[in-house]
Structure 1
Amino acid sequence: MQFRTQIPISKSNNPIDYNSKVLSIGSCFAENMADKFDYFKFQNVINPFGIIFNPVSIEKLFRRVCELDFYQEKDVFFHNERWHSYEVHSDLSNSDRQELLETLNKAITETNKKLKEATHIIITYGTSWIYKNLEREEIVANCHKVPQKQFSKELLSAEVIQKSIQNTIDLIQTLNPDINFIFTVSPVRHIKDGFVENQLSKSHLFTALHQVLKTHNSQLITHNYFPSYEIMMDELRDYRFYTEDMLHPNQIAIDYIWKLFSENYVSEGSFLIMKEVDEIQKSLRHRSFNPDSDQHQKFLAKLQQKINLLKEKLPHITF
């Protein structure tokens, strides 16, 4: 007997392997998946501009990156003793304006280079709700705790999102026509917007994204869309799979979603190396009761030998 429904997932025609170069952009769930790529030592870059939730802000960043449109003094502002940009996450904010501009422009240059080299790009959309700065009349990626009266809150229509996603694809393909796209919608519910409002927000993302994929090629829907939201809402429809806030997937859920992702989007030839990496990672975390013992020294020597053998096959891997 089956006690749960399982989401059917089609295998990618262009799976990720240890020679692939992956760029991941988007919501906090994108970071959950990127942590897995990092753990298994794939070549992965995650959110060079910090966590970004909405499609328009993601498009704006790719426009800057692809056109090498560097930040200027007019693009940053001072608030609460720090300099910020409305286009990026507050993790990049700085007490020194020049340092912030240098950080942002270095991120543009490096991401441009990484995007040209990337074999795969994973984009995770989080919400259709946006905040628009009233003075600048522009959609922001982060409000940086600026008073709410300086913003209007709006729900992006499916049509606007569809155009924004298409613009993002066009920009990226101009720089790298051979890149493989993987899209997903974050399973994290934005309940601060409201329960009904969150569902409406996600539905706009689904409608727009699938419409874009449908216009490209019917195969893209099955091969370039990973159903992380659907897995969380259907296969893992129990609060034991959530963190204490009852909104974010916990480690068990993240591990399960990663398992399904890797089975369908990572090449079978990479599984043995992933197993080797996993064994090394677990060994590195081992803490001996007697670090100076001969037994532990032999353990360390054997571990180093495993690392050296793996590095001979894949020089880019470091522990």
Structure 2
Amino acid sequence: MQFRTQIPILKSGHAIDYDAKVVSLGSCFAVNMAEKFDYFKFRNSCNPFGILFHPVAIEKLVRYAVLGKLFTAEDIFFHNERWHCYDAHSDLSTANQQELLENLNSIVQNLKQQLVEASHIIVTYGTSWIYRFVESDAVVANCHKVSQKQFNKELLSIAKIQESISATVELIQSINPKATFIFTVSPVRHIKDGFVENQLSKAHLISALHASCDFKQSDLSYFPSYEIMMDELRDYRFYNEDMLHPSAVAVNYIWDCFKEAHIGSSAFETMEAVSTIQKSLQHRSFNPTSESHQKFEANLRAKIAKVVLQYSFMKF
């Protein structure tokens, strides 16, 4: 007897292997998946501008990168003793104005190169809710704890999200027509927006994705992260203590589903070898000078050398 339902996921026709270069953009769940890519030593870049939750924020920074648009002093502001940019996450904020501008423009240039070279673009949308800065009427990616009175909160329409998705794809394809896109909706629940509002937000994202993207195309696919969390893992034991974010067990399960669908079987042996090395590197000996530990260290160095000989980009 089956006590849960499993979501069927089509096998990708453009599998990720160790020759791939992955660029991940989007919500904090994009970071969860990117950490798995990092662990297994794939070539992966994630959120150079920090976590981005909604489609318009992602589209805007992709546009900056593709068109080579640079940030100026007008794009940043001083608040709570730090310089911030409404288009980037607060992780990039600094106490020095020039440093922030230089960082932002360096990231723009690097992101363009990453998009040009990428074999796979993974986009994770988190919410349809946006904040519009009243003074400029511009949609922001992050409010940086500026008073909420200075923003209007809006729900992006399905049509507007469709436009943003299409623009993002077209911009990247203009510099990299061979890139493969994987879209997903974050399973993180944005309860601060309200329970009903969170479901409405996710529904807009899912509706827009399926309306604007023809997932029958070989270079476009949809991975059901949100659906796996809501249906296969429909129990609070699969959430962290905040009951909003997936637990480590849930992240591992969703990663395994992703692996089966989007990572080529030719990479599995190397992934296993890398995992063995990673676990060995975390080992702490009670007696580092013992003969057994010296043999362990020598064996580990040999395993690393063997993998690096095949994939020189790997660093341990």
- The TM-score bracket by the shorter chain reads over 0.9
Q: Deviations over 1:272-319 (max 9, x none)?
A: 000000000000001111111111011001100000011111111110
Paired residues of 1:187 and 1:229 also in contact (CA < 8 A): yes
Paired residues of 2:13 and 2:218 also in contact (CA < 8 A): no
Cα distance, 1:165 vs structure 2: 0.5
Amino acid at match of 1:31: V
Q: Deviations over 1:203-238 (max 9, x none)?
A: 000111101113xx63469x6100000000000001
Paired residues of 2:82 and 2:95 also in contact (CA < 8 A): yes
Paired residues of 1:158 and 1:208 also in contact (CA < 8 A): yes
1:247 paired to 2:217: no
Match of 1:310 among 304, 307, 312: 307
1:139 paired to 2:136: no
Give the match for residue 258 of structure 1.
255
Give the match for residue 104 of structure 2.
104
* Unpaired stretches in structure 1, ≥5 consecutive residues: none
Give the match for residue 218 of structure 1.
216
Give secondary structure in 2 for the equivalent of 1:88: coil
State the identity as a percent: 60
Runs (4+) off by over 2 Å: 217-221
- Measured in 2, the distance between the counterparts of 1:170 and 1:114 equals 16
Paired residues of 1:213 and 1:220 also in contact (CA < 8 A): no
Give the match for residue 195 of structure 1.
195
- Measured in 2, the distance between the counterparts of 1:115 and 1:56 equals 18
Give secondary structure in 2 for the equivalent of 1:244: coil
- Measured in 2, the distance between the counterparts of 1:135 and 1:41 equals 44
Give secondary structure in 1 for the equivalent of 2:183: strand
Match of 2:235 among 234, 238, 242: 238
Match of 2:288 among 279, 291, 297: 291
- Measured in 2, the distance between the counterparts of 1:263 and 1:5 equals 17
Cα distance, 1:136 vs structure 2: 1.1
* Unpaired stretches in structure 2, ≥5 consecutive residues: none
- Measured in 2, the distance between the counterparts of 1:219 and 1:7 equals 20
Amino acid at match of 1:250: S
CA RMSD of aligned residues (A): 0.9
Give the match for residue 271 of structure 1.
268
Give secondary structure in 2 for the equivalent of 1:210: helix
Give secondary structure in 2 for the equivalent of 1:224: strand
Amino acid at match of 1:80: N
Give secondary structure in 1 for the equivalent of 2:222: coil
Give secondary structure in 2 for the equivalent of 1:218: coil
Give the match for residue 51 of structure 2.
51
TM value normalised by structure 1: 0.98
Give the match for residue 33 of structure 2.
33
TM value normalised by structure 2: 0.99
Cα distance, 1:48 vs structure 2: 0.2
1:18 paired to 2:15: no
Number of aligned residues: 316
Give the match for residue 152 of structure 1.
152
Equivalences for residues 38-187 of structure 1 within 5 A = 38-187=38-187
Q: Deviations over 1:119-177 (max 9, x none)?
A: 00000000000000000110000000000000000000000000010000110000101
- Measured in 1, the distance between the counterparts of 2:82 and 2:90 equals 10
